Amino acid sequence: MNESSWICCQLGAREHYAVPRALFRQEALRLLITDAWVQPRSVIRALGSGLRERFHPELASASTKAWNTGLIAFEAAARIRKLSEWQRVISRNRWFQRRACAYLGRKAETPKTELIIFAYSYAARDIFRFAKQRGWKTALGQIDPGPVEEKIVADEAARVPELAGDWRPAPPEYWDNWQEECSLADHIIVNSKWSRSCLLKAGVNGEKVSVIPLAYQGIEDRGQISEVRGERQYPDRFDEQRPLRVLFLGQINLRKGVARLFDAIRQLKNEPIEFEFVGPVQVAIPPDLENNPRVRWFDVVSRGEVDSFYRKADLLILPTLSDGFGLTQLEAQAWSLPIVASRFCGEVVRDGQNGLLLENLTGETIREVLRQCVANPELLAQLAAGSGNFEVHSLDEVSERLFELLADGRQEAIPRRCA
C-alpha cells in the first residue's frame, strides 16, 4: 500500500474516472469528490444518459461525495438565467469548488499520512488555496494545452469565419484563474508531449510539468475485447457498393480540424468514401456537406452506442489542430481500428504500424492519405493487425507514475510505453 493518501476532486466523468480508479486499486484513494455520482438504481438516472454515466463500478465501495440534486438545480438555474456558454462553465467551476471546499472544511481530519489533493484544471484554484492553507500537496491534472491552444483555434476561426459558429475565446478571468492554479500546484500532470510544449510556451514552470498519458481499459472492462481482436475485415477493393467508411468521433469543432476535413471531403467527391460524424456540432455545417448523401451526422451518443460506430468503421480520423491527448485514439486501438491523425495530440499512432500520421494539416494532405487508403485496402488490414500489438497505458502504471512523482520529486515522469 502506498504511504500517501489522495483526495481527487473531479468535475464530470473525465477519462471514465481513471485517476481515482488507479489510486483506489492501490488503496491510496482517501476520497473522491465529484459533482454527480449516480448509483445504478437511482431514479435520477431517468433524467438523461449523461447522468446515467456518472458512476463507475470499480469505485462502488470508494468513499465519495457528490451533490446530485444540487447540480440539477444549478443547471436549471443556468438555463433560466440564460447564461452564455463561458458564463456557465465558469459558474459551474466556482459552484463545484465552493461545495468541495466547504465539505473538506467540515470533514477533513488531520491525516496520518501525506495528503495530496488532485484536481483538474479550471476547477482547482479555490481547492488548492484551501489545501495550501493546510500544508497539503497539490497536483493539477491539466486537461488541455491551455492558452496556446486557444490561440491556435482563434487563428483558425479567423481563417474560416463562416464555420466558426458561436466560438468565443475564454474571458480573461478564466486564464487568470488558471495561472493561479499553476502557481499553487506542486505538480502539473499533462497527458502528452504536445500539451507539455504548449504549457512551456505559455510560461508555465517546466520543472512542475510531467507527462503521464491516459489509461484506457474500457472495452476490456466490459468483456468485449474478444469480439473484435483479429476479426476486422476489409474488401479486396472499395467501390460504390462497399465504400471506405471513415469515422470522426468527438466534438465537431474547429479545434478538431474539421474545416480541413471538410475541404478534403469536397476534393474526394469522386472517391468511394463515406463519412460519419458523431458528436456535438459546434460549427456552422456548410449546406453542401449537411445534405451530402456520403456524409452522415449523429449527435452525442452513449458509451454503448459508440461501440457500434467503432465496430463498423474502416478507420478513425483525428485531424486535430490541438488536443490534450485524444482519447478516441485509444478507443479505436481497442477495436483494432486504424487511425489517421495529426501530430498535435497524444502519441498513439506509429506511422505505418497502427495508423498514418498527417505531416501537415491541409485539405490536400488529408485527401491524399484517404486516397491512399481507398487504393490499398490491404494497407488498412495491416494497420488493423498492427493495432493488436500496441500496448496502452494501464491504470496500474498511472498510479505507479503518480506515486513516483510524489515520492522522489522526479518531474519528468514520461512512461516507458507511450507519451
Looking at residue 87, which CATH number applies to its domain? 3.40.50.2000
Do 124 and 32 belong to one domain? yes
Average pLDDT, the chain: 90
- Residue 332 within any structural domain of the chain: yes
**Residue 413: inside a domain, yes or no?**
no
Q: How far apart are CA 111 and CA 89, in angstroms?
A: 33
Q: For residues 398 and 419, give the distance between their C-alpha atoms in angstroms, rounded to a whole number.
A: 12
Residue 128 lies in a domain: yes
Share of the chain above pLDDT 90, in %: 77
182 and 245 share a domain? no
Residue 290 and residue 334 in one domain: yes
pLDDT at position 113 is: 66
380 SS3 class: helix
Q: Tell me: the pLDDT tens digits for 66-85?
A: 999 999 999 999 999 999 99
Q: Which three cell numbers stand for residue 401?
A: 507514475
**CA separation for the pair 399, 383 (Å, rounded):** 30
The reply to whether 279 and 296 lie within a common domain is yes
Q: Where are the beta strands (DSSP E) in 256-303?
A: 273-278, 295-298
Q: Verify that 161 and 234 share a domain, yes or no.
A: no
Could you tell me if residue 326 is inside a domain? yes
Residue 111 pLDDT grade (very low, low, confident, very high; cuts 50, 70, 90): low
Same domain, 230 and 378: yes
Per the structure, the complete domain to which residue 41 belongs is given by 5-215+393-408
394 or 380: which carries more pLDDT confidence?
380
Identify whether residues 110 and 234 lie together within a single domain: no
Q: Whole-model pTM?
A: 0.89
Q: Are residues 242 and 331 in the same domain?
A: yes
Report pLDDT for 2.
55
| Statement: residue 363 has pLDDT above 90 | yes
Q: Is the pLDDT of residue 121 over 70?
A: yes
**Rounded Cα–Cα distance for residues 264 and 366 (Å):** 6
* pLDDT band, residue 107 (cuts 50/70/90): confident
For residues 205 and 297, state if they share a domain.
no
Count: domains in the chain:
2
In a domain, 311, yes or no: yes
Same domain, 335 and 373: yes
Q: Is residue 415 part of a domain?
A: no
pLDDT at residue 270 tops 70: yes
Kindly state whether residues 263 and 131 are assigned to the same domain: no
The least confident of 49-58, 308-317, 409-418 is 409-418
Residues 201 and 89 in one domain: yes
- Could you tell me if 190 and 199 are in contact, meaning their C-beta atoms sit under 8 angstroms apart? yes
- The C-alpha atoms of residue 410 and residue 401 are separated, in whole angstroms, by 10
Grid coordinates representing 290 are 449537411
In a domain, 177, yes or no: yes
**306 compared with 317, residue with greater pLDDT:** 317
pLDDT in tens, 11-30: 999 988 999 999 999 999 99
Domain-located, residue 355:
yes
Whether residue 56 contacts residue 21, with contact meaning beta carbons closer than 8 Å, is answered with yes
Contact indicator for 51, 11 with CB cutoff of 8 Å? no
